[in-house]
Every structure is written in C-alpha cells, then in structure tokens.
Amino acid sequence: MTGEEPSVKIAVCVKQVPDTWAEKKLRAADSRLDREAADGVMNELDEYAVEEALQLIEAHGGEVVVVSMGPDRASETVRKALSMGADAGVHIVDDALGGSDAIATSAVIAAALAGRGFDLVIFGSESTDARMSVVPAMVAERLGWAQLTFAQKVEVSGSTVTIERVTESGFATVTAALPAVVSVVEKINEPRYPSFKGIMAAKKKPVETLSVSDLGLESAAVGAGAAWSAVNDFAARPPKAAGTVVTDEGDGGVKVADFLATQKFI
Amino acid sequence: MSEVLVLVDAVDGAVRKSTTELLTAARRLGEPAAVWVGPGISDAAIAALGEYGATKVYVADGADLAQHPVAPAAEVLAQLVQQVAPAAVLVPSTADGKEVAGRLAIKVDSGIITDAVDVAADGDRIVATQSVFGGSTIVHSTVTRGVPIITVRGNAVAPEAAPASPARQDVSVSLSDAARKATITGHSAATKGGRPELAEAQVVVSGGRGVGSPDGFAVIESLADSLGAAVGASRAATDAGWYPHQYQVGQTGKTVSPQLYIANGISGAIQHRAGMQTSKTIVVVNKDPEAPIFELADFGVVGDLFAVVPQLTEEINKRK
C-alpha cells in the first residue's frame, strides 16, 4: 500500500560572509566587520543547509525557498542557492539593517518566515564571520517552533521531523512535530555544485525583495544603533615572537621532548 | 553585592571544569550563584560548586528538564533573572550553552556576548574580552541593554578555588508548551575513551593531511596518550574519513586554546589556524619547511611525522 507523504515547504536561511580564506578585519571607523575587503561567499555551512533542503524535497516533494538578510550583493548568494535548485528567493535588504546584532537579525528573519506556511526552516549551525551559533535558536524562540539544531542527520516522516543532534560523546535523537527550526553541521551531507543548467534556470526564478517596513518592523529597532551590545575598542593581537625550527636529523623527536621539558610539560 | 548566575555544565552528575572557570570569572563581577538544571544534583556536586566560590546553588531538578534540548534551561534562567535581577548571567560557550544564552536574551530583553575569553568589572559595567577572526583581533565589548548574558570560552579563564558553603535553593519551573516541543528520545552509545574532551584539554595533539590514513592516526593517539592529551584532527583528515568529525579543530570545527598544541602533518591554512591559533604553546611537525603553520610554532621540526612522533612519544614515556 503506498501512502502519499505530504510534501514539505522548506525555507533555507543563508548568509553572505567574507571569503573564508581571507583575513578578516574590523573597521576603525565603527568597529564593524569590513565586508568589502574580500569577496562575499555563501556561508559554508549554509551550503549544507541548502543541500539538505533539496534532498528532503527530492524525497518528499515540496518547495524550497531561500531566505537571506543582507546588503545588495547578498543577492549573489540567493542566486547561488537558486542555482543549486531552490525554487524561489526572499532577499531582505534595507540600509537600516547594516550593523544589526543577532537579536535584531533573528527578529527580521522570524518576521520574514512567519505566516508563509513553512513546515521547516533550515540554517547552517554557525557562520564563519561572527561564529555565534545563536540565530537559529533565537528564531525558534521568536516563532515558538521546535528547535532541532546541530543536526548531522534529518528525517521527515508525515508531520514529524527527527534529527541526530551532535553531542560531545556522539549524538542525541531529537524529534518534534512540524513546523520546526533545524540547523545542520558539516557532517550531514555533501553539497552539490550548481550545474550549468541550474545556473541558467536560476536567472528566471522569482526573488522577492523585502524592506524592514515590509516586514512590519521599525527601522529604529534594527541596525547598528539598535544593537544591544557594543564594541568598546579592539586591536590586532600582538605578533608572536618567532619560535625555533629545526630539521630532523634522526633526533627530531628528542629535541621536541627537550623543548617540552624546558616548558615543564614533561 | 549582586548575584551573578552561572549555568552549571555537568556530566553524569559531576561538575565540569568549565563551570569552575565560570565561577572564578563570576567572582570578579558579584556573588556567584550556580544554576543546576535537570536531574542528578547531589551534595557532592553542591560542595564542588562551593569549592569555586558559589554562595548559592539554584536547583531545578525535574526529570522533564533533561528531556527537551536547550529551551528548558533558558526558561529556568529567565525565571531567575526576573526574580533575582543579577549583575550578569555566565554560560559555557558550548553548542548548548550558546543556544540557551541566545534564547534567554530574547526572553529577558538583554544583549548577549558570545565566546568571551575574559570578563572584568569596569565601574558599573561589565567588559568582555573576545578573541575573534581566528585570534587575530582582540575585542573589548559591553552589553548595552538589560542583564549582560555572556558565554565564556572553555580553557580561557584559569579556575581558582575560593571555598564557600553554598545555600541550596530549589526552583520550581513549569515548562511552557514551546519548551517541550522538541523531545530527546535517545542517545548514541557514549563513545567515551579515556581521553579528555577537546574543549577542556590542557594538551591537544592533532593530525592532518600528513597522517595519510586512518591507521596513521595510531601514532597521533600514542603521543596523545603519553601526554594525557585530547586528539584533534584537521578538516583534511576528517573530510578524508581518517578520523571522526567531532574531533575536527578549525573554522567549521572546534576552537581550542590549550596550554600545549602539537600539530602533526598539518599545513596551517586559515581553516585550521582559526581553531587553535590562541593555544599558549604550539609545537609543529611537518615535512614541508614552507608550511604556514611554522609561523605559529614556538618549536618546530621539519621532518617526517612517522619518524619524529614515535621518537617523541618514546622520549616522553622514558622521562616519566
């Protein structure tokens, strides 16, 4: 007997971040991350989130909408998700959003997700710029949805989602009724590369742009001026004094042991 | 003096090292009040918290608190924040801890700072120190609204004993429906080796691309065991399936800051450096003299790790 699995409507949240391989710096003028100094790329863990969403609709049917909050050039990241196979995009873009903290970001994203009939919203567990790992949990808090984060495996069955949540000693199995907020870790899958056909198709897929007021939010509640924390000052870490490097001539291990002894490690 | 709430991290009823670090930090800001969420509290645990200065231990010990991830601890802390008006809330900067802190920030309308490596009182405000962008930039930051909620990186604050006799205060919490939406239905068999957890270890011994195979990691493990160290792996090694992902140190893995980090067969690209750059002493073994990781080394050997590492292990064992 075959049952028709209900299809799933999935939102994937993606962030454009500075290229992972580039050095990151804060701007002297306002202590904010200099996002212009490097190419923007899709946050690496978000690629895994997009892939997971695509695999889920391949199994169950449904739709993937990519959602991103970011300046104009974040549209490139939305397009990348579309070229991987997402069906449509939502790009929240507004000058007022510059310098938003995680609190405001989560409010904006929750407002963009609410009331659109999503069964699941999937995030990467962490972004390589701020590395806070709090936005998915904050969005779950705001929406009142189940939080299933740090997932190395995701399964949807009917109206239930089950994940394996990575823990220090292995994993915990966590289950909830939809709708739910999920975040994924690197171990979960292998993100596909966009095909040429996918890249061409992406150009025709719809992308809705939304401003802060479109979401029913006040400009005064977002952006650098509304942040609930502030950088007082920052400085480059003082450069480390050069160490000693020797070549192994049959005694390399002994020399390291001697060094460890002088440092009182052994 | 105001209380500083410290969320306790315990495993099998035993208080973890990170909690002793947070209690030490909390003493600089006010009266440390430990918060225990979930079953398993004991007199021994309360005494252990008292050893590091807790003057109070709030206990919310319902079994259902451990049945749902993250949300219950956030609700317990939110209730205490309303009740107690603390000077700050300190939470360990683990996956769970950061998410608890994030949800708490929304509940109590307060700012949040994550992954602080230090906290200090500066007049009537609290200043957190963060080491960001792989350790290249040191930032001082402050929460500007509400009760500062700060997650503190493990191994960053040296724990100092300051014995106190904590008063136990039981807290009753009825979880909201939202907090109970996700349910933990099982745990994998604990793969607990004898080695310390990466985040807590004083010494970490890592292997990278140069290790070449899963079997190659045996020499890394022997060195780690001779030092009582945790084992780490670079992304190249975990991506190749030579070592489990949970041991990955780097930008998409764990950030560690042990007293001693020994990197074997690791080139030291930013992906890895971001995870270990602030280790106090760094030793490098690599065949390639141009490997960028030598720039971080306090001591380095250019050579074949399969010759150097076993010799090092033997020397360490000889000198015990």
Which residue is associated with the tokens 């004898």? B194
User: What is the distance of C-alpha A246 from the center of its chain?
Assistant: 42
Q: Do A256 and B252 touch (CB under 8 A)?
A: no
Residues of B in contact with A245 (CB under 8 A): 284, 289, 294, 297, 299-302
Three-state SS at B284: strand
CA angle at residue A153 from B269 to A41, to 5 degrees?
40
pLDDT digits (tens, 9 = 90+) for A19-69: 877 888 999 999 999 988 888 999 999 999 999 999 999 999 999 999 999
Q: What percent of chain B has pLDDT over 70?
A: 99
A92 — phi, psi (to 5°)?
-95, 115
Q: Do B112 and A146 touch (CB under 8 A)?
A: no
Instruction: Quote the ipTM score.
Output: 0.94
Whether the per-residue pLDDT at A3 is higher than 70: the answer is no
Question: How much is the pTM?
Answer: 0.91
Of A24, A147, A251, Cβ closest to residue B71: A147
What per-residue confidence (pLDDT) applies to B190?
A: 65
User: What is the distance of C-alpha A194 from the center of its chain?
Assistant: 19
* DSSP-assigned beta bridge partners for residue A18: A40
**Shortest Cα–Cα distance, A190 to chain B (Å):** 10
Q: How far apart are CA B239 and CA B218, in angstroms?
A: 18
What per-residue confidence (pLDDT) applies to A168?
A: 77
Which structure tokens are listed for B201? 């270890």
pLDDT digits (tens, 9 = 90+) for A112-140: 999 999 999 999 999 988 899 999 999 99
Residues of B in contact with A23 (CB under 8 A): 133, 136, 270
Contact B161, B51 (CB under 8 A): yes
User: What is the distance of C-alpha B237 from the center of its chain?
Assistant: 22
